[in-house]
Amino acid sequence: MVNGAVFAGFLGPSHPTPLQLQKQLRFASFSNRNSNNVNSLRVASSASIAALELADIDWDNLRFGLMPTDYMYIMRCSQGEAFSKGQLQRFGNIELSPSAAVLNYGQGLFEGLKAYRKHDGNISLFRPEENGVRLRMGAERMCMPAPTVEQFVEAVKETVLANERWIPPPGKGSLYIRPLLMGSGAVLGLAPAPEYTFLIYVSPVGNYFKEGLAPINLIVETEMHRATPGGTGGVKTIGNYAAVLQAQSAARAKGFSDVLYLDSIDKKYLEEVSSCNIFVVKGNEISTPAIKGTILPGITRKSILDVARSQGFEVAERQVTVNELLEADEVFCTGTAVVVSPVGSITYLNKRVTYGSDGVGRVSQLLYSALTSLQMGLTEDKMGWIVELK
């Protein structure tokens, strides 16, 4: 970890003052953002990204992986209380009690969103309030207090601007933003934690799949299940993701990109891939599994549905069978990390079905281009989804 920063029990080194941050980030200046005199980082010059001292990175070969940056954001509260203003702190290790609820009972959630550098030098976020709303829904399910949507968005903005030199140049990638909400207080018996921590860190990233915008190959899992009715499959709790690692590792060892899961009752209806939603195209209809508690309500999923409607497609959220999948004209996945990822083949019960013969499908390409052009500011935002930071 960079700088070896440790905050013991989340109380360690004092938070940097605005003056210290101003010295540490030569390209930034401070201004009051509201009547409460909340300090936030603003870039001194918006004329060109050349005014920034960008991080020394091979942007052309950027992968999807952790790259330690400069600052993270920390906010804490006790059970039964509300979160108050947090602070930026140097990125580094944190210290937890061995009895922290997040370590013992998995009381934790995370979110994922991205910041983009536009060609005019401005920085934008894509629908951050949706992540704040989803975090609060998940927190209710996991018996945790959560920041308000306004606190969430403000914290994301501050963290992004504090790490601006790590945002890739236009077209080279994005700054992945990882908010965490966890039971950091110590417990022994099974119970909600007495204390909670909200944390945000960031990392510059490239494509999630090594194939980039190229067809991926999926295998349908018939024995293991990602989620069950009444469980936590519909919220972004940390435990959902560890459960897919065994099947995913086995699939990748066989040369597949990822795993597609079926429902745990009938074992014939599509649910989702390990970390993204699935779509099936047949003629002019685009179908995706309905949200019924076992599927994560992806923000990219939701956005693609709206974009597809605006492009004249018939859109259906319903139960989708394996047979429909195998007979589809085209299949693709969506998610914050993958954006839109076309599927080149599906393997089910040792039967392999391929889609298309000329690479990326027409619908996948159309929706990918429409969404990324909007996210990167290349087309007008008629949806009101983009939040400009500068």
Positions marked active-site: 236
Interatomic CA distance for residues 236 and 136, integer angstroms: 10
Neighbours of 24 (CB within 10 A): 13
Tokens linked to 164: 């601006």
Q: Nearest-CA neighbor of 352 among 209, 215, 217?
A: 217
Q: How many residues does the chain have?
A: 390
Neighbours of 261 (CB within 10 A): 24
CA dist list (Å): 334 to 9, 232, 341: 38, 20, 6
Q: Nearest-CA neighbor of 329 among 362, 301, 303?
A: 362
Interatomic CA distance for residues 194 and 267, integer angstroms: 40
Please give the span between the terminal C-alpha atoms of the chain, in angstroms, as a whole number.
Answer: 29
